[in-house]
Copies of this chain bind each other. A is one copy, B any other.
Amino acid sequence: MQKIRIYLHQHRGRFVRELCEYLRFPSVSADARYRRGLGACAKWLTAHCRKIGLITELCRTRGNPIVMARTPRRARSKNPYYLVYGHYDVQPPEPLELWKTPPFQPRIVGNSLFARGASDNKGQHFAHLKAVEAYLKTGTELPCDLTFIIEGEEEVGSPSLAGLLRKHRTRLRCDAVVTSDTTLLGLQYPTLSYGLRGICGLEITLNGPSCDLHSGTFGGSVENPAMALCQMLAQLRDEKGRITIPGLYDDVLALSPFERSALAIHPFNADDYKKSIGVPELFGETGFTPVEHRSARPTLEINGLTSGYQGEGGKTIIPSWARAKVTMRLVPHQTPEKILALTVAHLRKLCPPTVRMNITSSPGSDPYLVSPESSKVQAALDALRDAFDCEPLLAREGGSIPIVDEFKQILKADSLLLGLALPDDNAHSPNEKFNLEVFAKGMMMSAHLWRRLARGQRTAEG
């Protein structure tokens, strides 16, 4: 590793310049005005991959092209085989007036590189590319075969990726997928995310009278759909913060003592947290910690409420209807299908005969879990330890990453989520940035990772 370490150190300035060049492309996938920026960005990335020694392919899709780049592979290689996933598209930069300098003119202040896409996700996958460059340019044998899949539609829901995975299902069958697109809790807290929550959603509409009624003339003799909705929703959560839908917790895999102690050492200060989100007190299910609440427990959230008159002043009506948008975060081994069915059945029981209920649901996604005690996770933790020179954290992500589910469904591959974005990197916000010390450590982490994974695999097989 000595040669690699030196190479990465010596070329650090150039790497940052190259990353700045990459960040100058306004590759905004959500906005049709940027379509050219996306195409040009994909071409630049393909050329760059070729330059560092990878075998590249620019795959056309119905949307933005996907860059595939693989390491040169010896015939009948018995090396472990990994995919590295990333995305070159970025969030829209708006509102522009909140940026201190233009979003597509990268600027370095201290250790921070400011630009749209700096941490989400160009900087993060660039670290992996540079680690591979170090192997290839120093003639060090790379102990794993790798294929980079860098798409241009992550910020709009990755509509083309599943098709590509299905088309190349055989050649992409791999040992696991490595993705750096999550959060690193701090420079002293390198983080591996071994679980994600799933999600499902529904929209509940209660229809009462055929039109808004005068609350004086009719009030008292007709159900108020907004009140009926409140009374139904209120019953979905008890005073301990638990969801009351019968059967909802049946399939929840309990946190192991190992996991609970791993989550317990996360840096967390309740006062700072309260202040950062602006709430007077935290909320949470009795018997669990805030870190567990945020990532490892099922939730039911009302995302929106609509009924009656919402303008200035008042209007004395009984609203004709009331609607709630609800989503639930799921944990292993809950499934969206079963949870939706239980929820709908329970709502039907709660609905009074004075209103008519209509429910629509969205398909959702499964929760994800890779055993934190598995050899691959342990190897990845070793790589984090090597690079950051401190004890890494195991985390669960509270959100859902649909592409992780697709890798699992289509390729049967687990994902190793090794995030390099700091919590204050302003992903999706103005003044997005990437920490250059994290960049340096991320490259080293990636370099160690292939060695650690290959060794772990040999040990596991031996």
B222→A283 contact, CB < 8 A: yes
A219→B309 contact, CB < 8 A: no
A362: B residues at CB distance < 8 A = 313-314
A310: B residues at CB distance < 8 A = 304-306, 323, 325
With A221-B282, A325-B308, A355-B280 already in contact, the answer to whether A301 and B227 are too (CB < 8 A) is yes
Closest to A237 in B: B227
* A316 close to chain B: CB less than 8 A: yes
Closest to A329 in B: B219
* A297 close to chain B: CB less than 8 A: yes
B199→A216 contact, CB < 8 A: yes
> Which of A216, A313, A314: most chain B CB closer than 10 A?
A216
* A112 close to chain B: CB less than 8 A: no
A447: B residues at CB distance < 8 A = none
Interface residues of A in 277-312 (CB under 8 A from B): 277-285, 290, 293-295, 297, 299-310
| Shortest CB distance A102–B (Å) | 24
Q: How distant is the Cα of A280 from the Cα of B206 in the complex, in angstroms? A: 12
Closest to A322 in B: B305
A305: B residues at CB distance < 8 A = 226, 229-230, 305-308, 310, 322
* A315 close to chain B: CB less than 8 A: yes
Partner of A303, one of B319, B327, B398: B319
List 20 A–B pairs whose Cβ atoms lie within 8 Å, in order of A's numbering: A197-B216, A199-B316, A203-B314, A208-B279, A210-B277, A221-B273, A221-B284, A221-B293, A223-B281, A223-B283, A230-B230, A283-B352, A283-B354, A301-B318, A302-B307, A304-B307, A304-B315, A306-B306, A308-B325, A310-B325
